[in-house]
Amino acid sequence: MAFNPIVEAREDTHRLERLYRSDPAEFINHLDHALQIYPGSPFLKYWQTRFEYTEQRIDNISDDAPAA
């Protein structure tokens, strides 16, 4: 199995934030895997909710945009 830095840092909020800021796309990929291993982790669930909310917000903004 490949190294997953989120699994290792799952209880360290500052480290999780640094990992996200260093490579958001890679963070999301690792987060999905980490949630499979630790589905009850409150910190990982927070990050999952953060991304789901962001995606919903972007969808809502796109729906409200005037047609060109």
* Whole-angstrom distance, CA of residue 16 vs CA of residue 9: 6
Determine the pLDDT at residue 2.
79
Residue 24 or 55, more confident: 24
pLDDT at 45 over 90: yes
* Whole-angstrom distance, CA of residue 62 vs CA of residue 46: 24
Determine the pLDDT at residue 63.
63
Q: How far is CA 21 from CA 29, 52, 65, in A?
A: 14, 17, 28
Residue 32 or 55, more confident: 32
At residue 15's C-alpha, the angle toward residues 21 and 13, to 5°, is 105
| Cβ contacts of 37 within 8 Å, gap of 6 or more | 7
pLDDT at 40 over 60: yes
pTM: predicted TM-score of the whole model, two decimal places:
0.72
